[in-house]
């Protein structure tokens, strides 16, 4: 009986040693070419400079009256004038953004009137007309103006150009790293994309001169990528 117990213990110990040896061999195995352990990961960026040719603007009307009905009715009259004016001045894609009606309180907490607001967004596809559209809206009764969000009609194609430049930049960086580490650069194994857009310019008043000036300036359309290359 004792011999059988000793034999069982010896067999169990041998099996445990074999399992440890198998795990050790698996952990020590070298990564194959193209796997993360043998790759080079870099960031690449590409930029395309362009001049905006269109603008996105927002026009609103705020009206006050003693009753909610009167405030909303007055606001509707003024807003219809603004919508007609911006369309006549050349704006397109005119769309309601928001409509609101809320009470106005006195210091004692009593309702002393109501404020109605309505705003629309509009696109000006010829940037040279943007100033005239703004002036037309204000002349028609708009007392809230924001924008413009400047962009290009072919922005999608320009962004694709920036993406191609970003990938080329990533390859150049990876080649430099591979040469420094005495490695040969292989195929692309992974690409992750991210991008950025130019910030909008904000203004809120009609100019006192002949028209509201809009300067398009220059925008930078930027694309960035993270690329992993196999290396050996």
Report whether pLDDT(67) > 50: yes
Q: Is residue 129 part of a domain?
A: yes
Please tell me whether residues 159 and 46 are part of one structural domain.
yes
Handedness of CA 64, 67, 70, 73 (dihedral sign): positive
Please tell me whether residues 159 and 131 are part of one structural domain.
no
Please tell me whether residues 42 and 85 are part of one structural domain.
no
Lowest average pLDDT, out of 38-42, 70-74, 180-184, 210-214, goes to 210-214
Q: 130-153: per-residue pLDDT in tens?
A: 999 999 999 999 999 998 888 888
Examine the fold and report which residue of 151, 178, 207 is the final residue of a domain before the chain moves on: 151
Lowest average pLDDT, out of 22-26, 130-134, 156-160, 220-224, goes to 22-26
Q: Is residue 119 part of a domain?
A: yes
pLDDT for res 226: 95
User: What stretches of the chain show up as alpha helix (H) in DSSP?
Assistant: 2-28, 68-88, 130-140, 155-180
Domain tally, the chain: 2
Report whether pLDDT(34) > 60: no
Please tell me whether residues 110 and 73 are part of one structural domain.
yes
Domain that holds residue 87: 54-151
- Across the strands, what pairs with 28? none
Please tell me whether residues 99 and 111 are part of one structural domain.
yes
Residue 31 burial (CB < 10 Å; 0-12/13-18/19+)?
A: exposed
Please tell me whether residues 112 and 173 are part of one structural domain.
no
Q: What is the CATH number of the domain that holds 225?
A: 3.30.110.170
Total-model pTM: 0.62
Q: Is residue 15 part of a domain?
A: no
pLDDT for res 209: 45
Taking residues 174-189, what's their average pLDDT? 93
Q: Is residue 13 part of a domain?
A: no
Please tell me whether residues 132 and 160 are part of one structural domain.
no
Please tell me whether residues 140 and 127 are part of one structural domain.
yes
Q: What is the CATH number of the domain that holds 141?
A: 3.30.70.2970
């Amino acid at each position: 009986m004792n011999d059988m117990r000793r034999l069982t213990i010896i067999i169990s110990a041998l099996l445990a040693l074999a399992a440890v040896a198998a795990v050790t061999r698996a952990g020590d195995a070298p990564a194959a070419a193209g796997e993360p352990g043998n790759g080079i990961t870099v960031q690449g960026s590409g930029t395309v400079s362009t001049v905006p040719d269109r603008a996105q603007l927002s026009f609103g009307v705020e009206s006050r009256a003693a009753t909610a009905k009167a405030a909303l009715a007055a606001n509707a009259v003024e807003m219809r004038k603004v919508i007609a004016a911006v369309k006549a001045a050349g704006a397109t894609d005119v769309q309601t953004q928001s409509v609101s009606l809320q009470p106005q309180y006195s210091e004692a907490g009593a309702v002393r009137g109501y404020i109605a607001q309505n705003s629309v967004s509009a696109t000006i596809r010829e940037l040279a007309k943007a100033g005239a559209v703004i002036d037309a809206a204000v002349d028609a009764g708009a007392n809230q103006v924001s924008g413009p969000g400047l962009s290009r009609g072919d922005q999608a194609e320009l962004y694709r150009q920036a993406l191609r430049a970003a990938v080329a930049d990533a390859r150049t960086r990876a080649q430099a790293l591979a040469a420094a580490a005495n490695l040969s650069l292989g195929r692309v194994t992974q690409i992750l994309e991210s991008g950025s857009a130019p910030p909008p310019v904000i203004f809120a008043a009609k100019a006192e001169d002949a028209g509201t000036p809009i300067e398009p300036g220059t925008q930078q359309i930027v694309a960035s990528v993270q690329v992993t290359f196999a290396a050996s």
